[in-house]
Amino acid sequence: MKFNKLSQLFLVSIIGLFLASLLTSCAIVTIDYVFIADSAGSGTNSAGQIQTFDADPETGALRSGAPNVPSGGINPVSMATSTDFANLYVVNKASNNVVHFSIDSGGILSQKDMVTTSASPVSVAVNAAITYLYVVSGPNPAVLTVYSLSGGAIGSAVASIPLTLPGFTSDVIVPTGVNVLANNDAVFVSAYDQSAYNPGGTTTSTANPGWVFGYSVGSGGTLNVASGSPYKAGVKPSALVSDPTNRFVFVTDFASNQVIGYTIQGGSTLDFLINGPFKTGNEPNSVTIDPRGKYMYISNGLDSTVSAYVIDLTTGTPSAAVNTSGSQANSTDTTPVSVIVDPALGSYVYTANNLGDSVSGFHLNITTGALQPTESTPYPTGAAPAALAAVPHGNHSTQTVSP
C-alpha cells in the first residue's frame, strides 16, 4: 500500500497529536506551590533554606517541586506572599534581614533584594495593593517598620513605629506577629510585655502582659495609632489574623490556651467579641482563616494538633468543627508552629512541624470545615521547619467570600 506525500503528512500529524495527548495526560499536575522555610542542617547556625512542594489536586498530597534555595540568612521564621502570587518575602531572624524572592510560573524562586532590620525580625505582611511591606522586629527595640514596594522590590522605609505601652514606656515589648487588613486600611501587631510576663525569670512591671497594637494607614504609608490602641490580648499573644471582609481579628494566646476575637470598628478600632475568648489546644502558636472567610485553623504546639472552627459570618463567633472521629483536634507530627490553607481551592490545610521535621496535610471539608489527613502525610522537610506560604499554580481560581 502506498501513501502520497499528503497522506504521509496527515499520518505524521495524527501520530504527533496522539503522542502529545499521551504526554499531557501523564504530566504531573499541581494546584499549589507550597513553600517551607527551614534549616539546611541541624546546627544552630546552619543556613536557612526554602523548600518547594507541589500539591496534588485530587488528594492534597505534597511532592518535591522546584529545587531548594537559600533563604538568604539564618533561622527563617516567617514568610508572606504578594496578592498577585509573584513575590515571596522571607524573615531571617538570626540574620536581621528580610529577603525578597520572585516566583515564576513553575514555582521557582529567585532572590532579588533584601533589607536589614535594627533588631531581630519576627513576622512580615504585605498589603493587598502590593505597595507596602510590614515587618515587626524586637525586642530591643520593638519596632513596626513599613517599607515601600515597587514591582515587588523592597524600597526605603516610609515609617518606623516603636512599640511601647503608655505608662510603661521602659517595659520590654516582644512582638510576635503582624497582620494587614485586606482593604489595606489598618495594620495590627501582636506582642507581649516581657517585663510583666517572664516565666522562669523576674518581672518588674505591673502592666497587663498581652497586647495588640493597632494603626490606621494614611497617605504615603504613614501609620496613625488607632483609637484605644493598644488593646489587651490575654497573657502571651502568639499570632493574629484578620478575616477577608475586614470585620474580625483573632489572636491566639499561647499562655492561656485560647483565641481572643475582636470586631473591627471604624476601620481600625478593635472591640472584644462579647462571648469570647474561645478555647484552643495547648500552646496555640499560629492561626489562619480560609479564603472564603468561613473557617479558622489554629496549630497547637504542645498538643501537636490543629483545632478547627466555623466562623459565624454575622457575629464572628468561632465554633468547634468536629471531624468524623468526633474530635475537634486533628493530630499533626511533632510541634506544629505554622498553619496555612491552600489558596487555589481552599481545600487543604498544612502545618510546619518544627520538631517533626515535616509538613502535615489535611483535607478541608468545604461544607463543615472539618479536617481529615491527606494521603501519605506527614511529608519530610529539612531541619526545624518554621513557616509556610503557598501560591496557586496556573489559572486555578482563588476562593473568596462576601459579607
Instruction: Please report the domains of the chain, with CATH numbers, ordered by start residue.
Output: 7-392 (2.130.10.10)
Contact (Cβ atoms closer than 8 angstroms) between residue 144 and residue 157: no
Question: Cβ–Cβ contacts within 10 Å for residue 86, how many?
Answer: 16
Asked if residues 271 and 233 have their Cβ atoms less than 8 Å apart, the reply is: no
In the chain the first and final C-alpha atoms are separated, in Å, by: 70
SS3 of 298, please?
strand
**CB neighbours of 132 closer than 8 A, spacing ≥ 6?**
126, 146, 147, 148, 149, 158, 180, 217, 221
Residues 233, 235: Cα–Cα separation, whole Å: 7
Question: What was the pLDDT predicted at 395?
Answer: 53
Query: Which pLDDT belongs to residue 12?
Result: 44
- What is the structure's pLDDT at 42? 79
Q: What is residue 292's predicted lDDT score, i.e. its pLDDT? A: 93
Distance (Å, whole) CA 99 – CA 185: 25
Cβ atoms of 177 and 189 within 8 Å: the answer is: yes
Q: Give the model's pLDDT for residue 162.
A: 97
Q: What is the pLDDT of residue 4?
A: 55
Residue pair 361/384 in contact (Cβ under 8 Å)? The answer is: no
Alpha-carbon gap, residue 309 to 54, rounded angstroms? 26
The tens place of each residue's pLDDT in the chain, 403 residues long, gives 444 544 554 444 554 444 444 433 344 578 999 999 999 887 778 899 999 999 999 999 999 999 999 999 999 999 999 999 999 999 999 999 999 999 999 999 999 999 999 999 999 999 999 999 999 999 999 999 999 999 999 999 999 999 999 999 999 999 999 999 999 999 999 999 999 999 999 999 999 999 999 999 999 999 999 999 999 999 999 999 999 999 999 999 999 999 999 999 999 999 999 899 999 999 999 999 999 999 999 999 999 999 999 999 999 999 999 888 878 889 999 999 999 999 999 999 999 999 999 999 999 999 999 999 999 999 999 999 999 999 998 655 445 555 4
What residue type is assigned to position 166 of the chain? P
Please give the pLDDT value at position 196: 98
